[in-house]
Amino acid sequence: MINDAVTLAGLTKRLLELEELLVEQAQELRDRKLQDILITCRGSEHMEKASIDPFDYAVCLVTGEVYYFEDLIVSGDFIRLRNVRERVGPNIGRDKGGNPSFDRGLDIAINAIVWICDAPYGS
């Protein structure tokens, strides 16, 4: 009986230690991911915000196209726009499908971005 209590106490202590370790590792991963986002965003506060806070954003490409979207994911030298609401600019409507919905997101090279803004229609 005493042996079981000692074993149980030891196991409980070890589980708590492992839990603390997992929490620390999860925080380190979050910090590293955020650091990767900050490096990739190259100082763009709006791009950084759009990657962590879903809201209304717009991005303009070197082609003159403007995409209105809700949030984005940074992945290396690309961003994936998610919940694209509208696309405006040159050559819009030339494709037979009109204005596509990009249901699975739209990947854009970061070096193709001219500007990005938060709350293009106000907050």
Tens digit of each residue's pLDDT (9 = 90 or more) over 50-73: 888 999 999 999 988 899 999 999
Tell me the average pLDDT across 67-89: 90
Could you tell me which CATH class the domain 43-118 is placed in? mainly beta
pLDDT at 92 over 70: no
Q: Which residue, among 60, 65, 58, has the nearest Cα to 99 in the 3D structure?
A: 65
| Residue 89 structure tokens | 């600019």
Neighbours of 58 (CB within 10 A): 20
Give the global pTM.
0.62
Letter string b/e over residues 111-121, b meaning 16 or more CB atoms within 10 A of that residue's CB: eebeebeeeee
The share of the chain scoring above pLDDT 70, in percent, equals: 76
First to last CA, the chain: 65
